[in-house]
């Protein structure tokens, strides 16, 4: 009997797999007698106990019948599936959803952040590294673990956390809301994914600002919605450019992503009027509304929502850090039950521990202390970047300075898109991670631009990065 042990894990388990395979393939026929344990052990260079244990297990599973004094016989296990090996060949088609999903992972096997070997990485979304936050968070988590809940959580989110979010939104974002209208979700991405399913049929139109956050487009188009772009200028979304019919628009009025524009009041009102005329929903993605460095923060669009059509999305990925995977939605009363049901059917709600830790961080004042410290740090990093750009890039870039957030957009004044790609490639070779505006756009933008994240690097590194940026501009002849 030829048995091929696969060499993975315990010899006992290898032998079981090999025997099962041979029985299921029909290489050992039903009714056949297996070799005596002693002889098989000798043949395969195994201990006799290993063989006996494998026979015993196969007997327990019904592959072998033992007859006292006469050895082990192969049971009739019916016709087995053909001995194809598991492969990458699909045995049945994927859904249209799955085929669309695959187009969004850019051929990367495991989507997620690519860890590049760069001296200075200006990628947007890298978190502010903050040892004080790390120790505060450690304390909150340990504290929450002392009072751990073990049963299923509230699918809508921990009530104490929802209360804290209400308090925060009313004080800081001008959004008066009640805990029953807040839904805790696994980050902004899940908010988009749930909204796609709850609000849109495949084939429905969704309006996205152009440029926009890619994760939103991916969630909606994978669901099967048609994304329509709306032009953005220095004041953000241009209401006159809104398409004639759509079921939903996703907007970033506080800090247009990625251009940084702040949508003026008159445009906010026009946007609400458009939505009312269309019977459309609006999603306000307030992804970094916590960080504004000049003037008072404007109230959120949601604060103008008179008839319950604005869905407000907040995230702790920027205010705290992305590994937390926590965000929230403020839902109009008419949508609340449907979104909560969708969340419950998706994953039964978020895990309890970090919700409890976050609720206590907020109620103890630690969250707002962190926000104040983070804003100071971000302001210094932003200043270092603005100074560095002025000094080392001069008028080769035009910077959109919105006094907010964790990134700047810099438009290249003397370059075409090809130059910009060359700049990015050259900078990467020199250890500087630059990222263009292009992937955020549906239509190619009129001018090439860069999205420059400054949250993860201390000011000295940003200064050095800007110096290197200036050198790169010179080296490829743009300055």
Rounded least distance, CB 456 to a second copy, Å:
9
Q: How far is CA 383 from CA 291, 374, 378, 380, 401, in A?
A: 14, 14, 8, 5, 10
Position 112 contacts a second copy (CB under 8 A)? yes
Omega before residue 127 within 30° of 0, cis: no
Contact region with a second copy (CB under 8 A), list: 148-156, 383-391, 426-434, 435-443: 148-156
Position 253 contacts a second copy (CB under 8 A)? no
Site for a second copy in 40-69 (CB under 8 A): 56-57, 60-63
H, E, C per residue of 415-443: CCHHHHHHHHHHHHHCCEECCECHHHCCC
Position 458 contacts a second copy (CB under 8 A)? no
Nearer to a second copy, 110 or 446 (CB): 110
| Beta-sheet strands, E only, within 8-53 | none
Position 443 contacts a second copy (CB under 8 A)? no
Exposed/middle/buried for 185, CB within 10 Å: 0-12, 13-18, 19+? buried
Exposed/middle/buried for 36, CB within 10 Å: 0-12, 13-18, 19+? middle
Rounded least distance, CB 118 to a second copy, Å:
14
- Tokens for 82, please give them: 């053909």
Q: List the one residue from 161, 230, 272, 472 that touches a second copy (CB under 8 A).
A: 272
Site for a second copy in 157-216 (CB under 8 A): 170-171, 174, 176, 180, 185-187, 189-190, 193, 197-201, 215
Position 7 contacts a second copy (CB under 8 A)? no
* 205/217 Cα distance (integer angstroms): 12
Position 286 contacts a second copy (CB under 8 A)? no
Contact region with a second copy (CB under 8 A), list: 44-52, 350-358, 359-367, 431-439: 350-358
* 332/307 Cα distance (integer angstroms): 9
- Tokens for 358, please give them: 């976050």
Spatial contact of 289 and 297, defined as CB atoms under 8 Å apart: yes
* 458/466 Cα distance (integer angstroms): 12
Position 72 contacts a second copy (CB under 8 A)? no
Rounded least distance, CB 14 to a second copy, Å:
9
Bridge partners of 399?
A: 410
Site for a second copy in 229-248 (CB under 8 A): 247
Q: List the one residue from 2, 45, 67, 146 that touches a second copy (CB under 8 A).
A: 146
In sequence order, the 6+-apart residues with CB closer than 8 A to the CB of 62 are: 75, 77
Position 4 contacts a second copy (CB under 8 A)? no
DSSP result, 256-325: -TTT-----HHHHHHHHHHHHHHT-EEEEE-TTTT-B-SSPPPPPGGGG-SSS-EEEEEEHHHHT-GGG-
Rounded least distance, CB 152 to a second copy, Å:
4
Q: How far is CA 479 from the centre of its chain?
A: 37
Which helix (DSSP H) or strand (DSSP E) does residue 228 occupy? strand 226-233
Rounded least distance, CB 291 to a second copy, Å:
17
Rounded least distance, CB 293 to a second copy, Å:
14
Rounded least distance, CB 56 to a second copy, Å:
8
| Closest of 291, 289, 259, 479 to residue 389, by C-alpha | 479
Position 313 contacts a second copy (CB under 8 A)? no
Rounded least distance, CB 13 to a second copy, Å:
7
Q: List the one residue from 76, 245, 416, 474 that touches a second copy (CB under 8 A).
A: 76
Site for a second copy in 77-96 (CB under 8 A): 77-92, 94-96
Position 285 contacts a second copy (CB under 8 A)? no
Binding mask 11-40 for a second copy (x = CB under 8 A): --x--xx--xx--xx---------------
Binding mask 208-227 for a second copy (x = CB under 8 A): -------x--xx--x-----
* 15/30 Cα distance (integer angstroms): 18
Nearer to a second copy, 7 or 69 (CB): 7
Position 371 contacts a second copy (CB under 8 A)? no
Rounded least distance, CB 322 to a second copy, Å:
4
Spatial contact of 220 and 249, defined as CB atoms under 8 Å apart: no
Q: List the one residue from 29, 240, 334, 390 that touches a second copy (CB under 8 A).
A: 334
| Closest of 208, 135, 155 to residue 440, by C-alpha | 208
* 77/58 Cα distance (integer angstroms): 12
Rounded least distance, CB 53 to a second copy, Å:
10
Position 266 contacts a second copy (CB under 8 A)? yes
Which helix (DSSP H) or strand (DSSP E) does residue 74 occupy? strand 71-74
Position 75 contacts a second copy (CB under 8 A)? yes
Binding mask 389-408 for a second copy (x = CB under 8 A): --------------------
Q: List the one residue from 164, 303, 402, 436 that touches a second copy (CB under 8 A).
A: 303
């Amino acid at each position: 009997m030829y048995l091929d042990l696969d060499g993975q894990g315990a010899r006992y388990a290898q032998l079981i797999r090999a025997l099962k395979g041979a029985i299921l393939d029909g290489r050992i026929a039903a009714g056949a007698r297996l070799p005596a344990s002693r002889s098989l052990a000798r043949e395969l260079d195994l201990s006799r106990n290993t063989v006996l244990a494998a026979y015993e297990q196969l007997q327990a599973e019904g592959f072998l019948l033992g007859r006292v004094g006469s050895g082990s016989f192969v049971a009739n296990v019916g016709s087995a599936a053909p001995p194809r090996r598991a492969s990458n060949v699909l045995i049945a088609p994927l859904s249209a959803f799955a085929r669309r999903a695959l187009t969004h992972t850019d051929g990367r096997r495991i989507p997620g952040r690519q860890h590049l070997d760069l001296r200075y990485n200006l990628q947007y979304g890298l978190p502010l590294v903050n040892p004080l936050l790390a120790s505060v968070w450690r304390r909150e988590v340990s504290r929450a673990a002392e009072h751990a809940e073990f049963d299923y959580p509230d699918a809508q989110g921990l009530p104490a956390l929802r209360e804290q979010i209400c308090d925060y939104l009313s004080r800081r974002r001008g959004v008066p809301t009640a805990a029953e209208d807040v839904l805790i979700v696994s980050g902004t991405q899940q908010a988009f994914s749930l909204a796609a399913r709850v609000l849109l049929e495949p084939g429905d139109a969704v309006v996205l600002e152009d440029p926009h956050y890619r994760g939103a487009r991916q969630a909606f188009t994978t669901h099967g919605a048609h994304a329509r772009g709306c032009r953005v200028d220095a004041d953000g979304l241009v209401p006159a450019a809104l398409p004639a019919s759509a079921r939903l628009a996703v907007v970033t009025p506080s800090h247009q992503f990625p251009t940084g524009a702040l949508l003026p009041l008159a445009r906010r009102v026009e946007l609400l009027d458009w939505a009312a005329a269309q019977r459309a929903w609006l999603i306000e993605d307030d992804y970094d509304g916590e960080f504004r460095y000049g003037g008072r923060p404007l109230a959120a669009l949601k604060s103008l929502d008179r008839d319950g059509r604005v869905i407000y999305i907040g995230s702790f990925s920027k205010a705290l850090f992305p590994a937390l995977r926590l965000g929230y939605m403020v839902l109009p009363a008419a949508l609340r039950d449907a979104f909560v049901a969708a969340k419950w059917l998706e994953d039964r709600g978020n895990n309890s521990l970090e919700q409890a830790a976050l609720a206590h961080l907020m109620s103890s004042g630690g969250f707002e202390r962190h926000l104040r410290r983070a804003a100071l740090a971000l302001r210094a990093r932003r200043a270092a970047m603005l100074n560095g750009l002025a000094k080392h890039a001069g008028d080769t870039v035009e910077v959109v300075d919105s006094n907010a957030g964790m990134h700047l957009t810099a438009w290249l004044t003397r370059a075409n898109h090809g130059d910009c790609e060359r700049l990015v490639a050259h900078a990467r070779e020199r250890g500087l991670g630059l990222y263009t505006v292009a992937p955020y756009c549906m239509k190619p933008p009129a001018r090439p631009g860069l999205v420059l994240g400054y949250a993860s690097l201390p000011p000295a590194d940003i200064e050095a990065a800007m110096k290197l940026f200036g050198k790169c501009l010179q080296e490829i002849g743009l300055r």
